[in-house]
Amino acid sequence: MNPETEYREGLDELASNYKSILQLLGEDPEREGLQKTPMRVAKAMQVLTRGYDMDAHKVLTDALFREDYSQMVIVKDIDFFSLCEHHMLPFYGKAHVAYIPNGYITGLSKIARVVDIYSHRLQVQERMTQQIRECIEQTLHPLGVMVVVEARHMCMQMRGVEKQNSITTTSDFCGAFKQAKTRQEFMNLISHETL
């Protein structure tokens, strides 16, 4: 799906519902500034949730290469944006992903695509972290996988406790990363500024 030109089924119904929401909020959806808003929001929501139509496992297998490399591969500082499923407000940040190949590697950009696919769904950060790890583990069958996600949540900044500077960090790991030494190596490598 090209998010700028192709939209999923139900777009008109979604826009109609947003028009109703505007009315329920006390707005006049017919006033000049809001006339096109319901369709704009409907299109935006379809773009922001396009991950439901994508297969993260297929993304990894489309660029799967046999390679005799068994050291850590890290893709860090992967920017992402997602929507919290509790309030449908954005959370955003960076994901850091490492895996230790077991005979196969995948294209580096595919790791970032996996993050994009799971972040473009209604999410909680904890589940998104786990889904990224599980997808890489189940598809590549590596010796280990570790994922760390750092994010700011607008549902904490704009409403509720209104804490502007809080950052939530989640992690998930398996295989060789169960060893503290391997986890520490990963954490050291993602904490250093490079390039």
Which pLDDT tens digit goes with each residue over 125-175? 999 999 999 999 999 999 999 999 999 998 888 888 877 789 999 999 999
The single residue of 120, 123, 131, 153 carrying the catalytic annotation is 153
The single residue of 123, 125, 131, 137 carrying the catalytic annotation is 125
Residue 159: per-residue pLDDT: 82
The single residue of 46, 84, 131, 135 carrying the catalytic annotation is 84
- The answer, yes or no, to whether residue 4 has pLDDT greater than 70, is no
Q: Tell me the per-residue pLDDT of 92-121, one tens digit each, with 9 for 90 and over.
A: 999 999 999 999 999 999 999 999 999 999
Whether 134 is a known active-site residue: answer no
pLDDT tier, 194 (very low <50, low <70, confident <90, very high otherwise): low
Whether 84 is a known active-site residue: answer yes
Q: In DSSP terms, which residues pair with 66 in a beta bridge?
A: 104
Residue 183: per-residue pLDDT: 95
Q: Give the residue from 67, 76, 79, 77 showing the smallest Cα distance to 106.
A: 67
The single residue of 150, 155, 157, 185 carrying the catalytic annotation is 155
Averaged pLDDT for residues 37-48:
96
What is the DSSP secondary structure assignment for residue 174, as one 8-state letter? Answer: E
Q: Give the residue from 46, 56, 51, 55 showing the smallest Cα distance to 121.
A: 51
What is the DSSP secondary structure assignment for residue 176, as one 8-state letter? Answer: G
Residue 170: exposure state from Cβ atoms within 10 A (0-12, 13-18, ≥19) = middle
Whether 125 is a known active-site residue: answer yes
- The answer, yes or no, to whether residue 1 has pLDDT greater than 60, is no
Strands (E), 87-143: 90-100, 104-106, 122-123
Residue 2: per-residue pLDDT: 63
Residue 122: exposure state from Cβ atoms within 10 A (0-12, 13-18, ≥19) = middle
Q: Write down the pTM of the prediction.
A: 0.92
The single residue of 85, 126, 138, 179 carrying the catalytic annotation is 85
Averaged pLDDT for residues 20-46:
97
Compare 186 and 158 and report the one with higher pLDDT: 186
Whether 86 is a known active-site residue: answer yes
Question: CB within 8 A of 163, min separation 6: which ones?
Answer: 156, 157
The single residue of 23, 86, 138, 184 carrying the catalytic annotation is 86
Residues 44 and 8: beta-carbon distance below 8 Å: no
Whether 153 is a known active-site residue: answer yes
- The answer, yes or no, to whether residue 176 has pLDDT greater than 60, is yes
Whether 192 is a known active-site residue: answer no
